[in-house]
Amino acid sequence: MTLLEQLERELNRVSEQLKRLTRERQILTEQITRLRTGAPPEVVCAALQVAFGVPLDLHILSHGDNQAPAELPSRRDEGAERSPRW
């Protein structure tokens, strides 16, 4: 594989990753807005689980807002090329 082919392949990979991250940012922004406008945390978590296709740590729900927020699991193991369903 030539250097040009390698760079083009990397550019395509980065472009796909950027699309995925942009979509995830949009979903997170929408859910933050829902929480700020009074949506129940359980409903928001369920929507995030559907959107990202992974179970979330609901520890934060059972311990109030004083704890650090739960982290979204890494999707690298599942294949980063898969975009979230929404």
Query: What digits encode the pLDDT tens for the residues 16-74?
Result: 999 999 999 999 999 999 999 999 999 999 999 999 888 877 665 566 555 455 555 55
CA 9 to the chain's CA centroid = 24
User: Can you give the residue ranges of every domain in the chain?
Assistant: 3-65
- pTM of the full structure: 0.61
Cβ proximity of 48 and 27 under 8 Å: yes
